[in-house]
Amino acid sequence: MSTGTIALILSFSIAMVVVSFLIGIWAKKKATSAQAYFGATGMFGPVAVGLSSMAGIASAFAIVGVPGIIYSTGNPMTFWMLSGAAFAMSYIILGKRMRAMAEVAPISSLGDVCDVRFNNNKLIKACMSIIICLGCVGYLAAQISAGSALIANLVNIKPIVAGLIIFGLLTVYTALSGEVGGLLSQAFQGAIMVFAGLVLIIAFFAVTGGFGGVLEAVAANPTVTGATNGVTKEFNPNLLGAWGTYPGGISLTWMLIPILGCVGQPQVLTRMYAVKNPKDLPKAGLVTAITHTIVGFLAVCAAYGAMYLVATGKIEPLAKADTAIYAFADYLGIWAQLLVYAAVLAAALSSASMFLTSSATLLSKDLTSAVGIKIAPEKQIGVTRVFMFILGAIAIVVSIYSSEMVALLGTFGWGTLVSGTFPVFVVGLLWKRCNETGTLVGVAYSLIFNILPLVTSFKYPSTLPAYFITSAIAVALTVIVSLITKKPELNKETELVMDL
């Protein structure tokens, strides 16, 4: 890559960071209350909420990792883009009840929703807070690692320096403006990702002629070896089959987890009560579904575009599968490089700010109240800002120097959040019979069996991902224990919410 190209990409990316920073600083004047700072409760329209929610889900893993997985293993990961439709399903299933919680109580966090539904049960709130915080910290570290590596490679500086500059600015504006600035900056970053997606999708069809062209190229060249790098890419006959090179059970998991798991993601749940007008919930779900489908299809097209270029000899086989989206953009030229590098950085920034605010709120507000530590309302925002600065600094350092923390993306990422939120919010808000005892057993199981594999050699006797089994068992325990124990007594306000 030429010096001029690097300068253009870097300038474009820095401009995006600066605009995000200015949005966050401007939004500070709107973060005047706890509900605004912690939850942006009832403040925004469906477009801003939809773009923000999409940007929080479509992380750097989605834009960089998904193309790499598809390039390596074939079709299974394409099921991930089905989670676009899952957003609309999430709003249909939970939207009304989650938004209604903000009408019957002062809701500013998921912990507040937990309090209303389960009569201020401290143990449920504590377990839920710890699980979600662990998942958030894992995602946060992974986004910082991806964004820092991207900038460091462009300007040949150490990742820790890039991380301190880029994500240090993010920590500042997020700490100052809370979820208000986070939501608005994420909406801006999401718009960049969508625009990049539309352009790259069109480019894919122009270059390859469509997926038929990819299939023909791969079938005609089952083995390709690079002339200069010596890397060999073998296009396994199963690569473009229904299940790819994975066993069917694992491939099926990739279909189920994105769809079902979307319902339990904090990026989706918290945005439901950020919608200003409850009647706009369907619009917010539709915006999120459409935009995420575009970004998801971007990842798919980039993967198959790289596959096509390798099969036809236009580029050499990739030494690292995660460079698939960059390889495709580099082939297309400077305009594609500008958009792709900006989209990757936007994905990292949006997810990082989302999980920074979520984890800081869970630790400083929800977990502290669950363990009996009382913080005066007028001091709560200040305390949370301190937590954000501390968490941001720790995450930057750890993500650069500790591979174990970045690995939490897989262990304490999507699946961990699902296992922690399903018993409390999905089962809890959909089923009146769900009681405190059942929910506590389910969420406690999730906490134990998300941590156990990290500190011991424990493994489930199955090829399915551990978080999938943990989530399923946690939900089953919640239901079974609720059925065999006392029926809950709901207060009038909660009863009205559950009847929606």
433-447 confidence digits (pLDDT tens): 999 999 999 999 999
Q: Residue 18 burial (CB < 10 Å; 0-12/13-18/19+)?
A: exposed
The confidence score (pLDDT) of residue 195 equals: 95
Give tens-digit pLDDT for 361-386.
888 889 898 888 888 777 888 888 88
pLDDT at 242: 76
- pLDDT of residue 405 exceeding 60, the answer is no
What per-residue confidence (pLDDT) applies to 402?
A: 58
Predicted confidence (pLDDT) at residue 407 exceeds the cutoff of 50? no
| pLDDT given at position 406 | 42
pLDDT surpasses 70 at 412:
no
In the prediction, which pLDDT does 329 show? 92
C-alpha angle with apex 270: 268 to 271, nearest 5 degrees? 65
Q: What is the pLDDT of residue 300?
A: 92
User: Cα–Cα distance between 118 and 438 in angstroms, integer?
Assistant: 11
> Tokens 């994975």 identify what position?
246
Element (H, E) at 281: helix 281-311
Q: Which of 72-86, 190-204, 213-227 has the lowest mean pLDDT?
A: 72-86
Any idea where the domains of the chain sit in the sequence? 3-402
Average pLDDT of the chain to the nearest whole number: 85
**Cβ–Cβ < 8 Å for 53, 399:** no
- How far is the C-alpha of 170 from the C-alpha of 189, rounded, in Å? 13
Is the separation of the CB atoms in 16 and 342 below 8 Å?
yes
What are the pLDDT digits (tens) for 167-195? 888 888 888 888 898 899 999 999 999 99
Question: For residue 383, which amino acid is it?
Answer: V
Q: Which segment of 236-240, 329-333, 382-386 scores lowest on mean pLDDT?
A: 236-240
Superfamily covering domain 3-402 = Sodium/glucose cotransporter (1.20.1730.10)
pLDDT recorded at residue 401 = 65
pLDDT given for residue 428 in this prediction = 93
Q: What local confidence, expressed as pLDDT, does residue 132 receive?
A: 85
Q: Please tell me the distance from the alpha carbon of residue 306 to that of residue 295, in angstroms, as a whole number.
A: 17
Q: Let me know if 15 is exposed, middle or buried by CB neighbors in 10 A (0-12, 13-18, 19+).
A: exposed
Q: Are 465 and 415 in contact (CB under 8 A)?
A: yes
| Percent residues over pLDDT 90 in the chain | 29
CA geometry: angle 446, 452, 455, nearest 5 deg? 150
Question: Predicted confidence band at 460 (pLDDT cuts at 50, 70, 90)?
Answer: confident
- Measured CA to CA, the distance from residue 45 to residue 58 in angstroms comes to 20
